[in-house]
Structure 1
Amino acid sequence: MSALPAEPIYDVAQLGHVELLTPDLEASAQFFTDVYGLYRVAETADAVYLRAWNDDVLTSLRLTAAEQPGLGHVAWRTTSPQALERRVAALEERGVEGAWHDGDVGHGRAYRYTGIGGHEQELYFESEKYRAPEGQEPYLPNQPQKFAPHGAAAAHIDHINLLVPNVAEASRFQQETLGFKLRERLTPAGAEEVGAWLSVMTKAHDLALTKEPHPTEGRLHHLAYAVESHLDVIRAADIFMEQGVGVEFGPAKHSRTQGFFLYVIEPGGNRIEIFTGGIHIFSPDFEPVTWTTEAGGRGTAWGTPVPESFHSHATPPYPVATGAAL
């Protein structure tokens, strides 16, 4: 394995959009709009495209009808067309065999490939900006639309957590080929790395990698959208309660990233997070933090117990997941 480059790479700008698979498209779409607080922007026979009120792009989430829940693909937006070409060249130099396609609703030409860990990933630059229709124009011109919250009012796409068989290998792949910066990792004493938190710019994480406990690959742990404050997370808990959506975990505070969170399972079976806060890294020579155990033996910063389902539930369910040993 080659050493990480001495010069930081800033060719990837952000988590651009995610495709989630669901066996109940309409129920999932209803959850994400009426309960989670997103907006429908386009539909086809087998897909619904959505955005959050503070996303400045046309769409950040595609829901696609499928037999099983899980991740369709995760897409990273580059900083320029030139950056896109550089990162594709880096992937191909590494032996990754991907393919270009013409794009989808809300974005242009993209390069699709399979990352370390079996997840479909995508790089693209061209993205359609959201233009608020009449009546939804913001009072402040630096906002994409009028703030008229409904449901939990998820504000913008934030991060994704993927299960991978080898966390250290998948982490190195993201760092070396795409320029992700390792912020924190969990390596229990005498054991292999079981968690890594990486970002492309200053956030605590755009991507989390967690050890896959089964002999399979390509599974999703969760997708997270951010809200503006801790109170919004607490408000979301009340909204989920009133709408009959069971809260799996939280509200509580993470030890790593220090984000305030809440997890639920949407009707299709995918785990979804409401997230706020989290540390930001401004130092160019930030040294990754290595955890050898949970702080003080706690699974969360304040000692909130972690439910068993948080470690056992992922999508697609095992042993249905791709590559599973049946």
Structure 2
Amino acid sequence: MGINRIDHAAVRVGDLGKALAWYEDVLGLTVLSRDADTVHLACRGKAADITLVKGTQSLENFTFGVDDQEDLDRVESILKKEGVAAERLNGDSRPGEGATLKFHLPSGHELRLCTGGAERRAGVSDFDAKGSHIPTDMDHINLLGEVDPAVMRDFLMMIGFKSSLNISVGGQLAGIWLRGSAYDHDIAYMRAVRPSDRLHHVAFAVEDGNHYFRLSDRLMETGHRWEFGPGRHNAGLGKSTGFGTNNYAYAFDPFGNRNEFSSGMEQFADDATPLDVDIAPEQLTDVMNGWGYEMAETFMTVGS
């Protein structure tokens, strides 16, 4: 019972062919199906992990997995009591979706919850790279918006997420990280620097350091570079364990949608005490990069 991890994201891209040059040719994802306006891809298996939608850039919608219909009923009941509109979908918008509940967050983002159907449990990550450079699964998502992060945190906790990390800058709450599963975080939200940005990154799962080596070489061999990383986040300011210490590497797709490649998240009990951090603006690089002294300028200013 409860909410699992992210199961799928649909992102807008300016040209499907150019986008596939990144997601299929470079990253190695498999095309499951396509039409004139969408392409469904998977890291592996028969369920779509990411869908490319013909448009411009940014996020179309995203989906978290749940175990069964009872979880959908529970969340739908909560939303109804709070006056939040929700809609049941028949689960055929992508391969492997299953019964689905759709609604909108206070930020305006469209969130879906799905069961995955009879053949699988939705929102359960696979981390076995099998010696490949290809990402193993979806891992998490980081949203951007203009809504107060506290409002987003309260809403997400209301429907079943647990608070993991809250970062304030100069006394003002700037970002929140929450989990549906036991892993460090499954969803995050930060105040957007550019008012129109709604997505900071969609994250894929990476197994370990050797997986980063193979993926880094793949980027180099295909004429690409990392925006930022590989490295380790440092929310604990000098602690390599605890909330906010996963490993990362970031790169942009051809249309400015940031992809993260994440590994090394710890698991925590449901009642673990969240980490609250209040930093000065000049400490932001230290929090984001525990292994070095630099952070890409675009990392905290550019979304999609």
Aligned counterpart for 1:108 among listed residues 98, 102, 115:
98
Q: Identity rate of aligned residues, in percent?
A: 26
TM-score (norm 2): 0.86
**Which residue does the alignment assign to 2:256?**
269
Residues of 2 paired with 1:65 and 1:111: CA distance? 23
Aligned counterpart for 2:301 among listed residues 302, 307, 312:
312
**Which residue does the alignment assign to 2:32?**
41
Deviation at 1:145, TM superposition (A): 10
TM-score (norm 1): 0.81
Number of residue equivalences:
285
Change (3 A) 1:302 1:42: same
**Which residue does the alignment assign to 2:272?**
286
Deviation at 1:188, TM superposition (A): 2.7
Per-residue Cα deviation, 1:168-199 (whole angstroms, up to 9, x for no partner): 110110001x211111110134x321111110
Unaligned regions of 5+ residues in structure 2, if any? Answer: 121-125, 236-243
Aligned residue for 1:170, secondary structure, equals: helix
Q: Which amino acid in the other structure matches residue 84 of structure 2? A: V
Residues of 1 paired with 2:164 and 2:9: CA distance? 22
1:79 is aligned to 2:67: yes
Q: Is the 8 A contact 1:25 1:268 kept in 2?
A: no
Deviation at 1:226, TM superposition (A): 0.9
Change (3 A) 1:129 1:192: same
Two-structure CA RMSD over aligned residues (Å): 2.4
Residues of 1 paired with 2:214 and 2:168: CA distance? 34
Q: Is the 8 A contact 2:129 2:136 kept in 1?
A: no
Change (3 A) 1:162 1:146: closer
Change (3 A) 1:227 1:146: closer
**Which residue does the alignment assign to 2:214?**
235
Q: Is the 8 A contact 2:145 2:189 kept in 1?
A: yes
Aligned residue for 2:255, secondary structure, equals: coil
Deviation at 1:122, TM superposition (A): 0.9
Q: Is the 8 A contact 1:57 1:129 kept in 2?
A: no
Change (3 A) 1:288 1:78: same
Aligned residue for 1:314, secondary structure, equals: coil
Deviation at 1:285, TM superposition (A): 2.6
1:19 is aligned to 2:7: no
Q: Is the 8 A contact 1:111 1:122 kept in 2?
A: yes
Aligned residue for 2:71, secondary structure, equals: helix
Residues of 1 paired with 2:280 and 2:23: CA distance? 32
Residues of 1 paired with 2:295 and 2:112: CA distance? 32
Per-residue Cα deviation, 1:111-136 (whole angstroms, up to 9, x for no partner): 22211111111122143648xxxxxx
**Which residue does the alignment assign to 2:292?**
303
Change (3 A) 1:275 1:24: same
Compare CA radii of gyration and give the structure with the larger one: 1
Q: Is the 8 A contact 1:182 1:288 kept in 2?
A: yes
**Which residue does the alignment assign to 1:119?**
109
Unaligned regions of 5+ residues in structure 1, if any? Answer: 1-9, 131-142, 316-326
Change (3 A) 1:192 1:145: closer
